[in-house]
Structure 1
């Protein structure tokens, strides 16, 4: 049985990379196929803490390096799996981790849940570090669309493609017809401007002025950019008091309630690190047509015109037009939701992800 050392992000905080890390950590298939050890790469304790530097974080990182060294010596893994950051201060931290593993002559595979290499490759220091970082390692990407982010440094033969997958939560399939008295829109993500919150509010204002009757629920964690108070101020300025509502964080059955009552899922992100949003997979399981942007690997999730729509970034008018179309064409709305659910069950369930990861790990170990 091969020994695998996983150095990955685990919650808290809760975000896509940490949730996928948890799924791997808890995977019966992975843990029965390989002898596994897990080290948490996370140094931030909350969403607000991400990107900030502190003495506590430095001390946590030093302890992390010590733990990695100890495990590489005592555990002697055949492969080390790392989920690094693509750029910024977090990349410099992960650069040290990967170079340390190479120093101990371990075979390394990195799994990217973010992007941004191409945005820094023209800076001389980052360019130099990337050349050393990607040398003699394998890379897992969530979508072929994301290869352009690392193509300067990685040959495609050293790349594996592994779309994310999530657990099925519904005991029975959701009906595509919701029978709401008015259309319910749903947004679910952390409250960041680049996730499209203000853009969606602008689109709601356009729809309201056209006379459409609808509601829009916003779910997610508050951030330093937008908290509950500032969200409500933006709602008030646009005259959307009886239309747009912030519902706070929701988990489990509480989150499921909003998915079950929604007619359309809207996620107009321009977030620069967006790769493969799990929230779109959740919405597809609930038979919801999805409207999003061509950021990261989203175009590999949403089939434009079949399971939802891909719109230009930062274009409230285009967003309002697609929402309007789905409001007016309920049969097409339901058909998109049904096709989305079928694609979810075919490609994005957790069991499919675990099987892909098992095959990739075996392949990476056996490749020269």
Structure 2
């Protein structure tokens, strides 16, 4: 059995953010995951000397763990400081010709790469070409790495089963925004759409949950039900299943495959989103959700169209959401594909 070394931030153990996916990879490896190295100390070290000391500590730990493992797994950053960190942390493994698998979670890697000066592009290519393989979160992103010689594999993310036993009915259309409070994710347009709907006497309610970013709770206004940061699975499941529509009018530059969209399908909640990148393939209009533009009028019109559907039509769409999740986006399916891919790379 191939023994694996996983190089990740401590969030992979805590299962927060995109580290949730890394945590699922660790679970998929099971006993084959011989060691996990947390790289957070390099981020938190202040001053050059402390950073050098932290890096030397990581190198020593990596060299020791790498000597007992045959392959390594690490996420690939889509920022220049992150690439520098990737390169420095993995350097002992690269120099020892260790088999390395990189996993890109970003939808903005191509734009990031194209915006780099020539010498930085060389560093990125050098790092990626040292890897045995690169994993992307969906086939849509394969062409983002056409500049690299490394073989690119697509493994679609999965999420937990968030279905609730019963879905309470409501005369209102219950809208949910679940994610960091980022303008590029379409939150200002959603707030404007909500105001238009309320002004037109539509029976609608908007709940927002997520960590403050370039917007905060004060930007939401008094009419919005703000729930703060939601991490616990049961709380998230309750929030999604209590909603009629997950609204994601995103154009966020790093958006790849939003886990919240998969979680909504798992809960049987349709998704109203922009046809942005891979979302255009995840969400099929009239089947498991609808597309809209990232503007208030388009969002409001889509909500009104949903409101006009019969209970039977809404129930059929919710059933489609569950069917799509069970067929394509379960954690079990993701982990099985990861195990098969990693086994094939080390055979």
Instruction: Give the TM-score category using the shorter length.
Output: 0.7 to 0.9
- Give the drift of 1:300: 3.6
Within the alignment, does 1:245 sit opposite 2:225 as a pair?
A: yes
SS of the equivalent of 1:336 reads: helix
Distance 1:115 1:281, change over 3 A: closer
Residue in structure 2 matched with residue 49 of structure 1 by the alignment: none
Structure 2 equivalent of residue 325 of structure 1: 305
Question: Is structure 2 residue 155 aligned with structure 1 residue 162?
Answer: yes
Aligned to 1:229: 218
Instruction: Give, in whole Å, the separation in 2 of the partners of 1:145 and 1:81.
Output: 22
Normalising by structure 1, report the TM-score: 0.83
TM norm structure 2: 0.88
Say whether the 8 Å CA contact 1:166–1:348 is kept in structure 2.
Answer: yes
Could you tell me which residue of structure 1 aligns to residue 196 of structure 2? 206
Q: Is the 8 A contact 1:270 1:295 kept in 2?
A: yes
Q: Does 1:133 align with 2:127?
A: yes
Number of the residue aligned with 1:238 = none
Q: In structure 1, which of residues 58, 64, 67 is the aligned counterpart of residue 58 of structure 2?
A: 67
SS in structure 2 of the partner of residue 94 of structure 1: helix
Q: How far off its partner does 1:4 sit?
A: 0.6
Task: Pick closer, same or farther for the CA change 1:229–1:124 going to 2, 3 Å.
Answer: same
8 A contact 1:289–1:334 mirrored in 2:
no
Residue correspondence of structure 1 range 1-368 to structure 2 within 5 A:
1-11=1-11, 15-25=16-26, 27=27, 29-32=28-31, 34-42=32-40, 55=46, 59=50, 62-64=53-55, 66-76=57-67, 77-119=69-111, 120-122=113-115, 123-137=117-131, 138-154=133-149, 158-170=151-163, 173-175=165-167, 178-223=168-213, 225-231=214-220, 235=221, 241-242=222-223, 244-250=224-230, 251-312=232-293, 314-330=294-310, 331-366=312-347
Please list every run of at least 4 consecutive aligned residues from structure 1 whose deviation after the TM superposition is greater than 6 angstroms.
none
Distance 1:6 1:339, change over 3 A: same
Cα shift readout 1:187-215 (whole Å, capped 9, x = no counterpart) = 11111112221111011122223321110
Two-structure CA RMSD over aligned residues (Å) = 2.6
Counterpart CA distance in 1 for 2:317 and 2:52 is 46
Q: Which runs of 5+ in 1 are unaligned?
A: 46-52, 236-240
Task: Tell me: CA distance 1:321–1:199, structure 2 relative to 1, closer, same or farther (3 Å).
Answer: same
Asked if the contact 1:326/1:332 (under 8 Å) is kept, the reply is no
1:343 deviates by 0.9
